[in-house]
Structure 1
Amino acid sequence: MYMSNVIRISPCFRSPQRRESQFHLYDLGVSQYFSKSALRKSDSVKNSIVFTKNIHVIGGNLRALTNYSEEGPVQDLDSSPVSIELELISSESQFDRVIAEAQQLEESLVIVWMASWCRKCIYLKPKLEKLAADYYPRIRFYCIDVNAVPHKLVVRAGITKMPTIQLWKDSKKQAEVIGGHKAYLVVNEVREMIENEYTM
């Protein structure tokens, strides 16, 4: 069995009786995700498990950085990013360059038009960064602060509300989503917009 899931865990502590780097976890449900060689029941603490492999805890989630099988470590790990920061476009000349490069490479790109004062933009941005990871590397995601670029560029792109998420291909705007509602709904619409482009 391979271990590749992220598992929610309860607080853990080091065993005072063991000097090795092992953890006791109060969650017997995790045993289904690990091979027998990666864990065993603890005798010193009731209803706990001792992990005998290196495990990393990140923000309340248990994320295995190495896959294990009965035979040992598995080499081909999924190294896909979980989130990708939106690349900032800060001038009209940079915008033109990004659009021209995408056309030359025959790629689509997503441009998120936002403003620093826009609360909906602030809530939406991290969710779009996760979406960007789903489409990495075939679609690049960029963001533009409408207050940091010439107004002429904002007018040229037809931006009237924030946030606006546009899909560009062949130096032309193909579609857009205006994010006036809940962030998860906007993300779904953006995903649908991208998928529609690829099925056309």
Structure 2
Amino acid sequence: MKKALALLMVAMVAWTMTDCSQNKQGRKADGPSAQHAKGGKGQAMEGQSRAAKPGDGKVNELTTADFKKKIMDYEKHPDEWVFEGDRPVIIDFYATWCRPCKMTAPVVEELANDYRGTIDFYKVDIDQEQELAAAFGIQSIPTFLFIPAKGTPTLQMGAMQKADFEKVIQSVILK
């Protein structure tokens, strides 16, 4: 009985330590998962727009259909990254049940207000937009996609503090 209890405690501690994210290191979004996004093999969840108003200082919901229209149409351009926007973008891949996602959300909202009119901020609920999450190989959340106006997007996995966001914004978005 004591062994079972000890094993249960170890499992709970291990689960708590992983906290929805496995790897906090950034990576370029040009690996196999980005290739999948470029190929667009699956059926899109062609939902209605959720009142996304880029540049309004808020973090707006983004559907697969909105992504294709505002960010990149990977069906139209299957072999290369062709950014459809006119301003840099940060996309937060999250889930409503994810505690680190909930802790990071106010930081992202504050950044959206700070960079109003300069950077567009969106969020993608991975449970609602599974195809889009799969297209980028989202395996841990929160994950952030930093998209400069020109250049290659970068994925950053794991919860981040405001100072960490600022570093990535300066090195990837505003360089």
**Larger RCO: 1 or 2 (CA < 8 Å, sep 6+):** 2
Query: C-alpha separation between the residues in 2 aligned to 1:95 and 1:169?
Result: 15
Q: Is the 8 A contact 2:147 2:173 kept in 1?
A: no
1:129 aligns with 2:109: yes
Residues 127 and 198 of structure 1, relative CA distance in 2, 3 Å threshold: closer
Runs of 4 or more, structure 1, over 6 Å off, are: none
Q: Is the 8 A contact 2:148 2:174 kept in 1?
A: no
Shift of 1:126: 1.1
Please report the TM-score for the alignment, with normalisation by the length of structure 2.
0.55
Whichever structure has more helix as a proportion of its residues is 2
Residues 104 and 96 of structure 1, relative CA distance in 2, 3 Å threshold: closer
Query: C-alpha separation between the residues in 1 aligned to 2:121 and 2:148?
Result: 13
Shift of 1:109: 0.2
Residues 199 and 112 of structure 1, relative CA distance in 2, 3 Å threshold: closer
What residue in structure 1 maps to residue 70 of structure 2? 98
* 3-state DSSP of counterpart to 1:103: coil
Please report the TM-score for the alignment, with normalisation by the length of structure 1.
0.49
* 3-state DSSP of counterpart to 1:138: coil
Residues 105 and 113 of structure 1, relative CA distance in 2, 3 Å threshold: closer
Q: What amino acid sits opposite 1:192 in the alignment? A: K
What residue in structure 2 maps to residue 152 of structure 1? 131
2:157 paired residue among 172, 178, 182: 178
Shift of 1:132: 1.2
* 3-state DSSP of counterpart to 2:93: strand
Whichever structure has more strand as a proportion of its residues is 1
The C-alpha deviation readout for 1:65-111, integer Å capped at 9, x for no partner, is xxxxxxxxxxxxxxxxxx9431001x311111120499345321000
Question: Percent same amino acid among aligned pairs?
Answer: 22
Q: How many residues align?
A: 112
Structure 1 gaps of 5+ residues are 1-82
Query: C-alpha separation between the residues in 2 aligned to 1:100 and 1:85?
Result: 21
Matches within 5 A, 1:76-87: 84-87=57-60
Structure 2 gaps of 5+ residues are 1-55, 74-81
Higher-Rg structure is 1
What residue in structure 1 maps to residue 8 of structure 2? none
Matches within 5 A, 1:185-196: 185-196=160-171
